[in-house]
């Protein structure tokens, strides 16, 4: 059974701080990794993808991947109240299915 | 470019009634997914299509759920008969390569 684990939270951070979201996965064959943001009552929205070990930055978001440790994280710098949402981690082994974690609920406090 | 389109957005039915959901993927996306998402959980795959072919339906409860993707574009997911436990959000997603994009979902309530 391929699994993706996340701390369900809620993770509370003050406005302007760095939010750190973590995800571990069980399938060593996983090749592609994704972070989705899901606002309450809305569908998941793709915000980051990462395929190689290391860091990938996009604006205030940085995804970090360590395949040896089977660990992927998302950092959100200068967190804003509008970042308050559930963040879903998803992994994929090329040509196979996406497996989603349960999501981490982030709350950014003004 | 239009995103993934789903209808209806909301559906309330009584148990034992049938229900159907429709999805139109992003133009050119060969892969189409149907997921079910329960409150507080991540999406769970029901079925994945590559063009017209259902390549993974191992998680689809085949006694009551069925799906089709005629002509490799639009897809329909059906439940007959619905049970109370089927209440959830049903999400359709599509992908061309490695990135997957979701439609707005259909919120199903079974009374």
Instruction: Please list every residue in chain A whose beta carbon sits closer than 8 Å to the beta carbon of residue B102.
Output: 36, 43-45
Surface of B (2-41) touching A: CB under 8 A? 33, 40-41
Mean pLDDT of A57-85: 97
Nearest to B49 by CA among B109, B92, B101, B102: B92
Please count the other Cβ atoms lying within 10 Å of the Cβ belonging to residue A85: 21
pLDDT bin (cut points 50, 70, 90) of residue B1 is low
How distant is the Cα of A42 from the closest Cα of chain B, in angstroms? 7
Inter-chain Cβ pairs, chain A and chain B, closer than 8 A: 47
What tokens were used for B34? Answer: 């149907």
Residues A23-51 pLDDT 10s: 999 999 899 999 999 999 999 999 999 99
Option in A49, A97, A102 nearest B99 (CB): A49
**What percent of chain B clears pLDDT 70, i.e. is strictly above it?**
99
Q: Are A21 and A6 in contact (CB under 8 A)?
A: yes
- Note the pLDDT of residue A2: 74
State pLDDT tens for residues B37-73: 999 999 999 999 999 999 999 899 999 999 999 888 9
Q: What is the mean pLDDT of chain A?
A: 94
Decide if A98 touches B, using CB distance below 8 A. Answer: yes
**Interchain CB distance below 8 Å, B42 and A100:** yes
Give percent above pLDDT 90 in chain B: 91
């Amino acid at each position: 059974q391929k699994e993706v684990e996340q701390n369900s939270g809620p993770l509370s951070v003050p406005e302007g701080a760095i939010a750190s979201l973590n995800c571990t996965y069980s399938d060593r064959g996983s090749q592609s990794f994704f972070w989705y943001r899901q606002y309450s009552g809305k569908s998941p929205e793709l915000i980051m993808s990462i395929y190689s070990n290391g860091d990938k930055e996009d604006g205030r978001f940085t995804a970090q991947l360590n395949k040896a440790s089977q660990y992927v994280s998302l950092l959100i710098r200068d967190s804003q109240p509008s970042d308050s949402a559930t963040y879903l981690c998803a992994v994929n082994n090329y040509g196979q299915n996406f497996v989603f974690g349960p999501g981490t609920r982030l709350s950014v406090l003004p | 470019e239009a995103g993934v389109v789903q209808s209806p957005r909301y559906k309330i039915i009584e148990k034992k009634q049938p229900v159907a959901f429709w999805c139109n993927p992003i133009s050119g996306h060969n892969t189409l997914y149907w997921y079910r998402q329960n409150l507080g959980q991540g999406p769970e795959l029901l079925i994945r299509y590559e063009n017209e072919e259902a390549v993974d339906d191992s998680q689809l409860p085949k006694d009551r759920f069925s799906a089709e993707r005629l002509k490799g574009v639009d897809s329909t997911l059906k439940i007959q008969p619905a049970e109370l436990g089927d209440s959830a959000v049903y999400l359709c997603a599509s992908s061309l390569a490695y990135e997957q994009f979701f439609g707005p979902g259909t919120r199903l309530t079974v009374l």
